[in-house]
Amino acid sequence: MTTGIIKKVAAAGVAAALSVSLGACAKGGSSTTNQGTSANGTTELAMWTHNAGNEEELGAITAIVDDFNASQTKYKVNIQAFPQDSYNQSVVAAAASKKLPCILDTDGPNVPNWAWAGYLAPLEGLDDTLGKFLPATVGKYKDQNYSYGYYDVALAMFSRKSVLEKHGIRIPTVDQPWTQAEFDGALKKLKDSGEYAYPLDIATGSTGEWWPYAYSPMLQSFGGDLIDRTDFKSADGVLNGPEAVAWATWFRSLVTNEWVAAKSGADSTKDFVNGQSAILYNGSWSAKDARAAFGDDLVVLPPPDLGHGPKIGGGSWQWAMSSSCSAPEGAMEYMKFAAQDKYVASVAEATRNIPATDAAANQVEAFKPGGENDIFRQFAKEFAVVRPETPGYPFIATEFTKTAQDIINGADPQQALDQAVLNIDANQQSNNYFE
């Protein structure tokens, strides 16, 4: 019986112990081949990725590693793939037991946190190469590059030409996005037509990182932000100022006007394809299914300009090297080798995401200027805002998620935002502002 109580209390310890021991087992089996020098003088480097279960991306990465291993005899990189769900815990557990691999991938917004914690080493001598990457695909902390990614994804609105034309709604462009009044008007027209229970689907049924990724750009478009980016010390005034309150009030009005469901269905792309919603707000990954369903009738629209221009989230999975690597020059050599345009192109092609460099984009059919997905690349270039580059980001993300959920469920905007600011500021302060 007591086990029942204590189990919960000890859950943290057990989970940590388990992941450590599992990590140790996984490494233990092949520890001699993972890192260190083998008989013929090649230094072996371990590399971790979250791509287990994602065949296309893992295949593209494996091809790069094979090329690298064949290109020289000094180093050999060994890939170990983890499922995405347990990847971050594995890295944290490995870091705690000082067993990080030389090369690893990280989710963009985590980079400052991991760099601050001392997990990652800065990438030196890559500034020229990384200057050609989309800004959101390079992980920075304190003016140093810590990671780069092969691709980015973009948020967009999807709709159908026939639907918009039928209701007399202007089709917006990158240069002329909808204004807030136009957007609200369009939603009202669609709702009043009676054809849709909820004309707009912004995937409120999703959880976790989706909330800050998808909805903080709306806040930014209103002129607010998650934290004051001049010194990353406080959220006061930006997350609870008049602009933020205006955003929260508008965000809540989407639900009270019945334009958006407080909790949308499990798969918003499917609901859109099945005609349940007129406009879908989702990532560029929805394009494939939507295009398959509607063909030329599908229109990809920029998010509305809510006062300060359209904004979308930036930053996806990126590659970095660990600070505890025993052969940093080897890891660095790999990082340089793998940053070539042809690899950016091959990974972006395999994952159908936006290539990080112009040169690579020219090699991928869909993303060439005029290609069917070029518009996402334009969005990423014009509108992308990275999530705040502070080690406090994981905390800010959870606070924003909870606050936005409370607002959509009817919490008082000013009160909810003030509480979030209080919590974020307390966290920044208790960490000495991550100095």
Positions touching another protein (CB under 8 A) are: 1-14, 17, 92, 95, 113-114, 116-119, 207, 261-263, 265-266, 394-395, 398-399, 402, 405-406, 409-411, 426-427, 430-431
238 vs 396, beta carbon nearer another protein: 396
- Record the tokens describing residue 141, joined without a space: 């902390």
- Record the tokens describing residue 34, joined without a space: 């993972």
31 vs 207, beta carbon nearer another protein: 207
Alpha carbon distance 205, 199 (integer Å): 15
144 vs 431, beta carbon nearer another protein: 431
State how beta strands 384-386 and 144-148 pair.
unpaired
Nearest approach in angstroms of CB 147 to another protein is 16
Nearest approach in angstroms of CB 396 to another protein is 10
151 vs 259, beta carbon nearer another protein: 259
Question: At 54, which helix (H) or strand (E)?
Answer: none
Nearest approach in angstroms of CB 402 to another protein is 8
- Record the tokens describing residue 422, joined without a space: 């209080």
Ramachandran region, residue 63 (left: φ > 0; alpha: ψ -120 to 50; beta: rest): alpha
113 vs 286, beta carbon nearer another protein: 113
Give residue 292's identity as a one-letter amino acid code.
A
Nearest approach in angstroms of CB 53 to another protein is 18
- Record the tokens describing residue 132, joined without a space: 């050609």
C-alpha distances in Å from residue 335, one per residue of 135, 154, 207, 315: 18, 25, 33, 18
Nearest approach in angstroms of CB 404 to another protein is 10
91 vs 154, beta carbon nearer another protein: 91
Residue labelled with tokens 């593209």: 60
Give residue 340's identity as a one-letter amino acid code.
Q
Strands (E), 323-408: 354-355, 384-386
89 vs 326, beta carbon nearer another protein: 89
Alpha carbon distance 135, 141 (integer Å): 13
172 vs 413, beta carbon nearer another protein: 413
Which residues, 6 or more positions from 11, have their beta carbon under 8 angstroms from its beta carbon? none
User: Residue 43 gets which letter from DSSP?
Assistant: E
Q: Sign of the CA dihedral 39, 45, 46, 49?
A: negative
Nearest approach in angstroms of CB 207 to another protein is 6
Nearest approach in angstroms of CB 432 to another protein is 8
Nearest approach in angstroms of CB 331 to another protein is 20
Strand partners, 44: 36, 76
Alpha carbon distance 277, 280 (integer Å): 7
245 vs 416, beta carbon nearer another protein: 416
Nearest approach in angstroms of CB 1 to another protein is 6
